[in-house]
Amino acid sequence: MTSTLQRSGVPELLDLHPAATDMRQLVIEGLSQTPKQLPAWFLYDAEGSRLFDLICQQPEYSLTKTETALLEDKAQAMAAALGEGTLVEFGAGSARKVGPLLQALEQPAYVALDISAEHLATACRRLQGDHPGVPMLGICCDYSQLEQLPSHPLLKTQRRLGFFPGSSLGNFTTAAAEALLRQFRRLLGPRGTLLIGIDQPKATERLEAAYDDAAGISARFALNLLQRLNRDLDCDFDMDQFRYQARWVPEASHIEMALISQREQTVQACGRSWHFAAGEALVTETSHKYSPKAFLDLAARAGWSSAARWSDPRGDLSLHLLKQAD
Residues 33 and 45 in one domain: yes
Structural domain contains residue 18: no
Residues 159 and 301 in one domain: yes
Q: What is the pLDDT of residue 238?
A: 98
Structural domain contains residue 309: yes
Residues 295 and 173 in one domain: yes
Residues 141 and 180 in one domain: yes
Q: What size, in residues, is the chain?
A: 326
Q: How many domains does the chain have?
A: 2
CA distance 67 to 276: 39
Residues 182 and 141 in one domain: yes
Q: What is the pLDDT of residue 194?
A: 98
Residues 195 and 244 in one domain: no
CA distance 106 to 299: 28
Rounded alpha-carbon distances, angstroms, from residue 69 to 207, 224, 290: 19, 30, 20
The parent domain of residue 115 ranges over 2-12+61-202+290-324
Q: What is the pLDDT of residue 35?
A: 97
Residues 66 and 182 in one domain: yes
Q: Please give the chain's pLDDT, 326 residues, in tens.
A: 555 545 456 789 999 988 888 999 999 999 999 999 999 999 988 899 899 989 999 999 999 999 999 999 999 999 999 999 999 999 998 899 999 999 999 999 999 999 888 889 999 999 999 999 999 999 999 999 999 999 999 998 889 999 999 999 999 999 999 999 999 999 999 999 999 999 999 999 999 999 999 999 999 999 999 999 999 999 999 999 999 999 999 999 999 999 999 999 999 999 999 999 999 999 999 999 999 999 999 999 999 999 999 999 999 999 999 999 97
Residues 143 and 178 in one domain: yes
Residues 6+ apart with CB under 8 A from 175: none
Q: What is the pLDDT of residue 9?
A: 65
Amino acid at 158: Q
Structural domain contains residue 129: yes
Structural domain contains residue 231: yes
Rounded alpha-carbon distances, angstroms, from residue 217 to 21, 148, 299: 27, 38, 33
Structural domain contains residue 242: yes
pTM for this structure?
0.93
Structural domain contains residue 8: yes
Residues 126 and 274 in one domain: no
Residues 36 and 85 in one domain: no
The enclosing domain of 75 has a CATH number of 3.40.50.150
CA distance 319 to 132: 27
Residues 8 and 105 in one domain: yes
Residues 295 and 284 in one domain: no
CA nearest to 194, candidates 72, 44, 299:
299
